[in-house]
Structure 1
């Protein structure tokens, strides 16, 4: 009971820290919200029974503390030298402020801590790290980001490293980590379109990540080979898992393709053909390693049980997975039909 009440307390302070950052009207209060958010997540990560969790919590704390102290130093220096109202106007200052925030959110090339921290966490904490913990830094980045050489390099490096890094991975956590880095590049591009676009992208990404983790969590899958022989007597869960993964990769019939489609259209209209071509090519690589896993699990390494076993699957898990996967599969079709009708 005590453990659950502490978890609720830290989750509440974690969310409140995020909300303080989002709603703040000064950089100092935004920094304070980031610190509350960080110090609430560290106890949630820690687990005395697992040495990998303790190591991941220590790594995460050191990296986040470095980024936070750098951000605070830049804020104080800027306020001492000149008025803080020049932050948005100055290109150099926006780069300085964006750099520690990009490190906090795990964008390339400041991503080196992200895969090793993810590898030591439970699936619930992995979801928090990939989604909730990115909201506050991304919101602050959206205030300062401009279409310049720096932002273009960060976008392209995030997409390239996210695609290539996950290519030979066997750990599901690391595959989702590099997929998250790839999506960071797309989200930063969406920020150039406007606030509503990146928020829409982030919501769809969070929904798809939640769907994948809600299917993985009951079976405690950690590696690719665990998915091959999962529940062969009931192939629905296997189908739901790989449908969600392909949607996360951005396969056109699924919901995951919708925000990418909108970004591609925007970039083409703004004559950024070279950048969007590179982004699409490297996103196809991420889609390839999802397809490779799906192909192997469904066709090559599929087996039928000789005896008829009773299916003891949790009905609640099945219902949640089926609901969110249905949204993922039919979301794009419903959205386009709604736009065409109305």
Structure 2
């Protein structure tokens, strides 16, 4: 892709997210979401492959449906209550439609069916943008709307997402689909406390973005898109393979890694609010996610490829990709748990 076109598209992504962040009016927020969608579609379709075109079409239709639902919810609320402000979504019908539309936009279960297929059809760098940056604007709206939403709706979406995210990733051999189901499960944890403690949602989202960025960049560096290719990762790049194991375990929420921090704090907050049964259910669903992360870790660390590689080992060859972002995200994805009190002080 032409560098100037790529620069325009990336600036448009930033503009759309910033516009949604800064808006208090539903029409401006809707415009920001649409700019985001239109900016990422050329990035998804640039591979000129039937799977990429199919994924782009699915993504466009899903996002267009969600945007139409958001506009319908805002218009309904303005008709009933006379308010266009995001925080004044007081009509129960309009609020339910808006939350459902935002759940469809970010891929919450049961509106998650598009996400694994879309991620499977695009490249890892574009999948990274789709899994991280594209979640920011809808989550900003969810945090503002959650106060008026029905608590049972958010709880049902959260439990369904954690269950589907853990269950759906068990039999997957494609790493992009595994990361898609991982995203669905993490989104469920974030949605659960959006009404009780919005700052916990922000903390969980930031932690998820760091860990997912590290995972995508590691797989991109190792050129791995299938589980079977992970068997030769340790032979080619032992240091990166070892770090990949830590990143996957951090995504699973295993202490003493960073991924344990948001799950621990969310379970504590949900229990303090008196929802012990809900906390128990999502803690059990986390075991499903942890299982397929351990399966990937086993493929990386305890399995060796039957074929010896004759190529020059990557750690001795000059690298062609910048590694500063990879190094920073790997450190943050594995070492932030001791700083939990300081991070809580900043967030709260």
Instruction: Give me the TM-score of the superposition, normalised by structure 1.
Output: 0.91
Counterpart of 1:108 in 2: which secondary structure? coil
Distance 2:166 2:331 in 1: 26
* Superposed counterparts of 1:269-288, under 5 Å: 269-288=272-291
The answer on whether the counterparts of 1:170 and 1:224 sit within 8 Å (CA) in structure 2 is yes
* Superposed counterparts of 1:281-296, under 5 Å: 281-296=284-299
Deviation for aligned residue 1:248: 1.0
CA 1:315/1:231 → structure 2, altered by over 3 Å: closer, same or farther?
A: farther
Provide the residue aligned with 1:268 in structure 2.
271
Provide the residue aligned with 1:120 in structure 2.
121
Please point out which of 328, 336, 339 is paired with 2:333.
Answer: 328
Deviation for aligned residue 1:21: 1.0
Provide the residue aligned with 2:112 in structure 1.
111
Deviation for aligned residue 1:136: 0.9
Provide the residue aligned with 1:16 in structure 2.
15
The answer on whether the counterparts of 1:240 and 1:322 sit within 8 Å (CA) in structure 2 is no
The answer on whether the counterparts of 1:237 and 1:318 sit within 8 Å (CA) in structure 2 is no
Distance 2:324 2:74 in 1: 48
Query: Unmatched 5+ residue regions in structure 1?
Result: none
Deviation for aligned residue 1:78: 2.7
Please, what is the CA RMSD of the aligned residues?
Answer: 2.5
CA 1:165/1:294 → structure 2, altered by over 3 Å: closer, same or farther?
A: same
Provide the residue aligned with 2:94 in structure 1.
93
The answer on whether the counterparts of 2:250 and 2:260 sit within 8 Å (CA) in structure 1 is yes
Distance 1:240 1:270 in 2: 36
Query: Unmatched 5+ residue regions in structure 2?
Result: none
Provide the residue aligned with 2:226 in structure 1.
223
Q: Which range is displaced more, 28-37 or 233-242?
A: 233-242
Provide the residue aligned with 1:30 in structure 2.
29
> What are the Cα deviations for residues 205-232 of structure 1, in whole angstroms up to 9, with x where unaligned?
1111111111111232110111111141
Deviation for aligned residue 1:156: 0.7
The answer on whether the counterparts of 1:233 and 1:304 sit within 8 Å (CA) in structure 2 is no
CA 1:224/1:307 → structure 2, altered by over 3 Å: closer, same or farther?
A: closer
Distance 1:138 1:96 in 2: 15
Deviation for aligned residue 1:276: 0.8
The answer on whether the counterparts of 1:208 and 1:248 sit within 8 Å (CA) in structure 2 is yes
Provide the residue aligned with 1:196 in structure 2.
199
Counterpart of 1:167 in 2: which secondary structure? coil
The answer on whether the counterparts of 1:88 and 1:143 sit within 8 Å (CA) in structure 2 is no
Distance 1:89 1:112 in 2: 30
Distance 2:145 2:344 in 1: 32
* Superposed counterparts of 1:1-342, under 5 Å: 3-47=2-46, 49-84=48-83, 87-145=88-146, 146=149, 148-232=151-235, 234-301=237-304, 311-312=316-317, 314=319, 320-335=325-340
Q: Size of the alignment, in residue pairs?
A: 339
Distance 1:18 1:309 in 2: 42
> What are the Cα deviations for residues 25-60 of structure 1, in whole angstroms up to 9, with x where unaligned?
111111111111111111111125322111111111
Deviation for aligned residue 1:194: 2.8
